[in-house]
A and B are shown apart, each in its own frame.
Chain A
Amino acid sequence: MKTLRPILILGIVTIILFGGIYPVVMLGVGQLMPEKAAGEPVYHDEQLVGFENIGQPFDSSQYFWGRPSAVAYNAAATGGSNKGPTNPEFLSLVEDQIDSLLKYHPDKEAADIPVELVTASGSGLDPHITPQGAVFQVQRIAQARGMSEEEIRSLIDQYTEDAFLGWFGPSAKVNVLTLNLALDAYTGPK
């Protein structure tokens, strides 16, 4: 009993401290930044249309498409493909992606496709593509929306995010959801 007491008490006290008080206090402090604590939700006409950093599925031709997802952008059960780089099954998936992209972009060829458009992300929820990945889709969207390619290109430019502080990390990326919201809100050249 003499050795059990410290063990039991230390166990229970640390549960209360680190499993209870710590997260609840951090939750409280998080409420000082409600936007952030909620995961940066995006509302449109007071309806929750997404979270800024959570990619969502797009497949109609009037929108920019994101990357393939191993979980079809299911944000309640996320994950990657976990396919190895030499797995024939994986390579045939990539091939299918290439074929299907080329079908919807008949003016392009495989060598024009940025690699992220045909490979799945680790989370299955990657919200970004590269600006090249967006430019690749310009003609299709212009046709579907009756906009000029120039207008869409300038939207892409406008929503291209620089590296962190301009110096660190991937040099350019575009958030697909943000860009699509901008497309919907677009009212013509300024």
Chain B
Amino acid sequence: MHTEILGIFLIFLLSVLLAWPLGRYIVSVFQGEKVWSDFFSPLERWIFRLAGIDPHQPMDWKQNMMALLGTNVFFFLLAFLVLVLQGYQPFWNPVGLGNWEPTLAFNTAVSFTTNTNLQHYSGETSASYFTQLLVFCWLQFVSAATGIAACALLFQGLVNRSSATLGNFYHLFLKSSTRILLPLSIVVCLLLTLGGTPVNFEGLQTVTTLEGDTIQVAGGPVAPMVAIKQLGTNGGGYFGPNSTHPFENPSYFTNIVENVSILLIPMALVFAFGFYLHRRRLAMLFFGVMTLLFVLFVALSASQEMSGNPNYTALGLADGQPNIEGKEVRFGPAASSLWGVSTTSTSNGSVNSMHDSHTPLSGGIFLLDMFINAIYGGVGVGFINFFVFVIIAVFIAGLMIGRTPEFLGKKIEAREVKIAALVVILHPLLILGGTALSSYGIQRNPDVGWLNNPAYHGFSEMLYEFTSAAANNGSGFEGLADNTPFWNILTGIAMMLGRYLPIIGPLAIVGSLAVKKPVPETVGSLPPESFAFGAVLLSVILIVAALSFFPALTLGPLAEYFTMGK
């Protein structure tokens, strides 16, 4: 048992140790300093010339926002068209898979464009190799690069002393893909291939088992896609059951590689904040607040899974066995819990165990993680979400000590706080509104057949689905029969709003902060690096998440927990 605990310590420590130098490197890339990857610059220059982009033309927050939205709309349209017309193009489609139903295509195109990767389809039975690579694998790069570029704009806005320009989105976007995501993906892909993750175009292979049965085994170009799915906090698996599948994640070694990849860039961007603004202590404070919650969540989830399900004992099984339903023997319950917390806190959404089958409190932790959605967070957007909590905390701390709130030498005024508050309210609105609607649907027509589990757990399934959509996570309580127009359209809308408004809002905040005259720091200002501010920040995060979501958590996971084994 103790080797399982050692294993999760190893994964966490590796992630932190690798994230630190990566954060430094990311800042060098953002700021255009000389780096080893400069051999990409001829290619980048050629692309910019072709596209008619002047990478050094500075843009203000609105111009950048238009560029971000414009590219993303184009990504979505292209993906949608390829999906609904999949059957018409014969290339890289050995199994002859057909066209997608439009609402499913809509949901999936939104899902991959918004870096969510909620999957209402199963990869091996509905997506051709062409779709897997030229749509999904591509979108996993560009949606992640969109988030990282947005984060770079935010950093620059916080640095500015009365200048409205935040940098050039196109430039940051392309460099995020070529300099950060591509090199890391190549390394991770190689490690995965070494670990036995296949990469081939074999289609379905026929196997004659030892007992003489004939079975079909689906393969494909798995390793390259798994690499970017983890690094870009996408989470969209090649196969239906994601990284539980022994081809996506064949061993404990590949599990380490993949789990580190999930945490790597989100952690690195917190450090990058410190390097970019020369505020390393503040970055450490942010990292500390996030890590405190992260470690707490892992400990709680792992202890629940390792101590098992009391209902098993009632059936006569020996006491003290873990809850291994929906989990793989090669990972064990501890690594499954660490992965679950990693994937829900970083809005990754890939799974190495079935979250639907976790014990109630562990499932509740995953929900809480996505309610907060800023513990390290999705690539780029995680830090942006965290920044919103920081603004609220600064405001509240300012009220408490009776001074005008300020952050990094800029006054936080009504406009900024209003935007931050709206962004914070959006998340529960989408989640609770959606869950209420679907609960009403079930109430009106109990035979609608969505739920795979009755009672409290069924409620959790619906709550989880909307939470995952709004948080752009993509994991699911996968028992939910979610490939219906109702779920496809509603979660599609939730993903869009949950993606773009929380990017636009904070960029509007820094857009207005960027042009404000700096106020000198005095003895009266609250230093954000202080322990006191850390405590306020932590409380704000917990109170916002708890106040908005506690009733829903009570109806789902908590009710299930308290009635378990009764």
Which residues in A have some Cβ–Cβ distance to B below 8 Å?
2-11, 13-15, 17-20, 22-23, 26-27, 29-30, 33, 36-41, 44, 47-60, 63, 67, 73-91, 94-95, 98, 109-116, 118-130, 163-164, 167-171, 173, 177, 180-181, 184
A2 to B63 Cα, complex, angstroms: 13
CB–CB B210/A58 < 8 A: yes
Q: Is B303 an interface residue (CB 8 A)?
A: no
9 contacts between A and B (CB under 8 A): A10-B173, A75-B215, A82-B452, A86-B457, A87-B457, A122-B326, A122-B353, A169-B3, A170-B4
Q: Which of B159-207 contact A (CB under 8 A)?
A: 170, 173-174, 177-178, 182, 185-186, 189-190, 193-202, 204-207
A33 to B354, CA, bound (A): 31
Known contacts A11-B78, A169-B4, A86 near B360 by CB under 8 Å: yes
User: Please, how many angstroms separate the alpha-carbon atoms of A47 and B214 in the complex?
Assistant: 12
- Asked, given contacts A23-B225, A27-B199, A82-B477, whether A126 binds B246 with beta carbons under 8 Å apart, the answer is yes
| Shortest Cβ distance from residue A26 to the other chain B in the assembled complex, whole angstroms | 4
Asked if B325 and A119 make an inter-chain contact with CB atoms under 8 angstroms apart, the answer reads yes
B7 interface hit (Cβ, 8 Å): yes
Which positions in B face A, CB cutoff 8 Å? 1, 3-4, 6-7, 10, 47, 50-53, 66-67, 70-71, 74-75, 78, 122, 124-125, 133-135, 137-138, 140-142, 170, 173-174, 177-178, 182, 185-186, 189-190, 193-202, 204-211, 213, 215-219, 221, 223-225, 228, 239-241, 244-247, 250-253, 255-256, 308-309, 311-312, 315-318, 321-332, 335, 351-354, 356-360, 452-457, 460, 477-479, 560, 563-564
Contacts of B67 in A (CB 8 A): 3, 6-7
**Which residues on A sit within 8 Å (CB–CB) of B50?**
9, 13
Q: Given A48-B208, A78-B240, are A38 and B328 also a contact pair (CB < 8 Å)? A: no
Known A5-B52, A115-B312, A129-B329: A14·B256 in contact at CB below 8 Å: no
Establish whether residues A121 and B244, one from each chain, have CB atoms under 8 Å apart when the complex forms.
yes
Most chain B CB atoms below 10 A, which of A11, A84, A118: A84
**Contact for B51 among A13, A33, A47, CB less than 8 A:** A13
The smallest beta-carbon distance between A175 and chain B, in angstroms, is 9
Chain A hits for B312, CB < 8 A: 94, 115
Q: Are B560 and A116 in contact (CB under 8 A)?
A: no
Docked CA distance A180–B209 (Å): 11
Q: Is the CB of A111 within 8 A of B51?
A: no
Q: Which residues of A contact B199 (CB under 8 A)?
A: 23, 26-27, 30, 37
Q: Are B244 and A80 in contact (CB under 8 A)?
A: yes
- Tell whether, in the assembled complex, residue B245 and residue A123 are in contact, meaning their CB atoms are under 8 Å apart: yes
Chain B residues within an 8 Å CB radius of A50:
207, 209-210
Pair A122/B217 contact, Cβ less than 8 Å: no
B196 touches A170 (CB 8 A): no
Query: With contacts A60-B211, A80-B241 known, is A18 near B329, CB below 8 A?
Result: no
Chain B contacts for A22, CB-based, 8 A: 137, 141, 182, 185-186, 224
What chain A residues lie within 8 Å of B351 (beta carbons)?
A: 122
- In whole angstroms, what is the CA distance A170 to B253 when docked? 12
- Cα(A88)–Cα(B564), bound, Å: 11
B228 / chain A contacts, CB cutoff of 8 Å: 18
Say yes or no: A3-B240 contact (C-beta < 8 A), given A33-B194, A123-B328: no
A170 to B252, Cβ gap below 8 A? yes
Known: A85-B323, A123-B245. 7 other contacts (CB 8 A): A6-B53, A30-B223, A37-B193, A109-B316, A116-B324, A128-B329, A168-B6
Point out which of B213, B217, B308 has the most chain A C-beta atoms below 10 A from its C-beta. Answer: B217
Do A38 and B325 contact each other (CB < 8 Å), given the known contacts A6-B53, A170-B331?
no
Known: A56-B209, A126-B329, A164-B7. A36 touches B196 (CB 8 A): yes
Question: CB-CB < 8 A to A73: which residues of B?
Answer: 215
- Minimum CB–CB distance from A113 to chain B (whole Å) comes to 6
Measured CA separation A110–B124 after assembly (Å): 37
User: Which DSSP category, helix, strand, loop or mixed, fits chain A's interface?
Assistant: mixed
Distance in Å: Cβ of A31 to nearest Cβ of chain B: 9
B327 near A14 (CB under 8 angstroms)?
no
Chain A residue nearest to B309 (CB atoms) is A85
Which of A85, A89, A181 contacts B359 (CB under 8 A)?
A85
**Is the beta-carbon distance between A26 and B206 smaller than 8 angstroms?**
no
From residue A16, how far is it (CB to closest CB) to chain B in Å? 9
Query: A6, B52: Cβ atoms under 8 Å?
Result: yes
Closest to A127 in B: B246
Kindly state the separation between the CA atoms of A126 and B328 in the bound complex, as whole angstroms: 6
Among B138, B178, B200, B316, point to the contact of A37 (Cβ < 8 A): B200
Checking A3, A18, A59 against B211 with a beta-carbon cut-off of 8 angstroms, the contacting residue is A59
Contact call B211/A27, Cβ cutoff below 8 A: no
User: When the two chains form their complex, are residues B325 and A19 in contact, meaning their CB atoms are under 8 A apart?
Assistant: no
Q: How far is the CB of B301 from chain A (nearest CB, A)?
A: 13
CB <8 Å contact, B211 and A121: no
Which residues of chain A come closer than 8 Å to B197, judged between CB atoms? 36, 39
Q: Which of B124, B246, B456 is the one whose CB lies under 8 Å from A77? A: B124
Closest chain-A Cβ to B325's Cβ sits at a distance in Å of 4
A contact residues around B70 at 8 Å (CB)? 3-4, 7
By a CB distance below 8 angstroms, the chain B residues around A3 are 66-67, 70
A84 and B478 alpha carbons, distance in the complex (Å): 11
Report B-chain residues with C-beta under 8 Å of the C-beta of A168.
Answer: 3, 6-7, 10, 252, 256
| A51 and B207 in contact, given A27-B200, A86-B457, A128-B330 (Cβ under 8 angstroms) | yes
The closest CB in chain A to the CB of B221 belongs to: A23
A36 to B255, CA, bound (A): 16
Q: How far is the CA of A14 from the CA of B51 in the complex (A)?
A: 12
**In chain A, what residue has the closest Cβ to B125?**
A77
CB atoms of A91 and B359 under 8 A apart: no
On whether the beta carbons of B479 and A84 are closer than 8 Å, the reply is: yes
Q: Within 8 Å CB of B173, what residues of A?
A: 10
Contacts of A171 in B (CB 8 A): 1, 3-4
Whether A130 lies near B134 (C-beta < 8 A) is no
Take A85-B359, A171-B1 as given contacts and tell me if A36 and B318 are in contact as well, using a CB distance cutoff of 8 Å: no
Q: Which of chain A's residues have a CB closer than 8 A to the CB of B137?
A: 18-19, 22-23
A169 x B335 contact (CB < 8 A): yes
The docked-state distance in angstroms from the alpha carbon of A173 to that of B250 is 14
Question: Min CB distance, A51 to chain B, in Å?
Answer: 6
Q: What is the distance, in angstroms, from B538's C-beta to the closest C-beta of chain A?
A: 31
Expressed in whole angstroms, the Cα–Cα distance for A5 and B52 within the complex equals: 7
In the bound complex, residues from chain A placing their C-beta under 8 Å from that of B253 are 164
Q: Check A170 against B47 for contact (C-beta < 8 Å).
A: no
A6 close to B51 (CB less than 8 A): yes
The distance in angstroms between the C-alpha atoms of A10 and B168, with both chains bound, is 14
| Contact assessment for A85 and B4 in the assembled complex, using a CB-CB cutoff below 8 Å | no
- The 6 A-B residue pairs with the shortest CB-CB distance, nearest first, are A110-B316, A122-B244, A82-B479, A19-B138, A39-B198, A9-B51
B219 to A39, Cβ gap below 8 A?
Answer: yes
Question: B56 to nearest A CB, angstroms?
Answer: 14
